[in-house]
Amino acid sequence: MTTLMQKLSDRSAEVVVIGAGYVGLPLAVETAKAGYHTTTYDRDRSKVESVNAGRSYIADVSSDLLESLVNSNKLSASAEPSVLAKADVVIICVPTPLNKTKDPDNSFVLDAATLLLPHMHAQQLIVLESTTFPGFTREVLLPKLSSTGLALDRDFFLAFSPERVDPGNPKFHTHNTPKVLGAVSEAGLEVAMTLYRSFIETLVPVTSSDAAEMVKLLENTFRAVNIGLVNEIAIMCGRLGLDTWEIIAAAGSKPFGFMPFYPGPGLGGHCIPIDPLYLSWKLKTLKYNARFIQLADEVNSSMPDHVVERVSEALNGRSKAVRGARILICGVTYKRDVDDVRESPALDIIEDLTKRGALVAYHDNHVPRLEHNNTILHNQPLDQVSEFDCVVITTDHSDVDYRALVEKARLVVDTRNATKAIRGVFAERIVLL
């Protein structure tokens, strides 16, 4: 332990981050900035080439910063597993999606661990940042790593620290977002704290890796359940002929006991639609039914269908069928001002409208080309908005002039309250979620 702690303290430790995506690359940048020689390992050779050329493909990492770290020999990338042999610290940042039955798919983490096994050696810290269910680090990952014959706390240390990446957030980034840390032993927590305090402003240690895993799931379950509630409120308000956003804004004036959440066309991204179901799955193994989670998932998953129905109703109100209608989807990323389309509800809306016979196009300057279900679409300019029968605002990017869009459009279905400032002027052509 002394050798590893000394290397962490004097920044001579070699860090390898497995996974160079939205979580892994920003993290690798921070460890490199802190003075550790850092290597990002990824099987995607295009990512490896981009990192080594100093070209960032992550919006939250500037190419200038990436290039300076590469040129100073603090950061590099590799697609060769042999780089793990020199690692004093290995941080696993790989996807943990759901399979087709909405059960946890930890295969990427297990593949990373399998990749690591032949390169493990004494005095190593291994940290998992990929979201998983409570108990995974201790019950699944620890036995796999121990199969090498190396012993916990004598040869290696194991911790879990959930990522808290919020793409596009102008205020909070990796270094200034408080970091939760848990480990499978007290010694492991001490070692992990030594590493992370060198590049994270605020650390939040918890008593175990299980607790840290649960923290992550609570954070995103809280959001998913509350978004599910407000999505159902939006459906209710539609039936009652009320403006959902007016109701939320008025309720938000209460200085206590209310926290505003906002409806939308569905959940997207790599966390909120997925993480609560990890917790639900784990509880099923303990014969407990996580009813709030399941209900929220049911409501949130149904929102793309609800949007399509609203589009159909709006077109019918103008004596126009969905079949044969020209529809422009405005915004296809899962949130505003990012280029990430993972789990974006816009994809389901496009697919459903297309199945109903609509001629669907999209506008999103963050996504020049969209490939989904063997169909390729390209970003359309907004200067031809008047040629479409309906525009559906599914992502409220800040680079869109919504007044100009509504002035030219025949009909707008607004799922994001993007037209709030002009709704009174163009009420006859705007339909809310």
Q: For residue range 341-352, list pLDDT tens digits in order.
A: 999 999 999 999
Looking only at the bridges linking them, the beta strands covering 430-432 and 359-363 are unpaired
- Provide the sign of the torsion angle of the four alpha carbons 284, 229, 171, 268, taken in this order: positive
Residue 240 lies in a domain: no
Shared domain for 312 and 381, answered yes or no, is: yes
Q: Are 337 and 201 found together in one domain?
A: no
* pLDDT score at 373: 78
Do residues 272 and 363 share a domain?
yes
In a domain, 356, yes or no: yes
Give the model's pLDDT for residue 425.
Answer: 87
| φ/ψ of residue 308, rounded to 5 | -60, -40
Residues 8 and 99 in one domain: yes
Range of the domain at 143: 2-207
Q: Is residue 241 part of a domain?
A: no
330 is catalytic: no
Does 275 share its domain with 403? yes
Task: Give the pLDDT of residue 2.
Answer: 59
Q: 336 and 198 in one domain?
A: no
Specify the CATH number for the domain of residue 271.
3.40.50.720
Count of the separate structural domains present in the chain: 2
The catalytic residue among 237, 271, 330, 390 is: 271
The yes-or-no verdict on residue 378 having pLDDT over 90 is yes
How far are the Cα atoms of 56, 79, 178, 237, 296 from residue 429, in angstroms, in the given order? 41, 53, 45, 19, 31
**Which residues are CB-contacts of 321 (< 8 A; sequence separation ≥ 6)?**
315, 357
Clarify whether residues 184 and 109 are in a common domain. yes
Say yes or no: 144 and 270 in one domain. Answer: no
CA distance 36 to 15: 7
Of 189, 207, 225, which residue sits at a domain end? 207
Do 152 and 268 belong to one domain? no
138 falls within a domain: yes
| Res 348: pLDDT | 96
Model-wide pTM > 0.85: yes
Choosing from 207, 240, 274, the residue where a domain stops is 207
pLDDT by residue (tens digit) across 144-156?
A: 999 999 999 999 9
pLDDT band at residue 288 under the 50/70/90 scheme = very high
Please indicate, yes or no, whether residues 162 and 294 belong to a single structural domain of this protein: no
Query: How far is CA 192 from each of CA 134, 181, 184, 354, 372, rounded to the nearest angstrom?
Result: 19, 8, 11, 50, 40
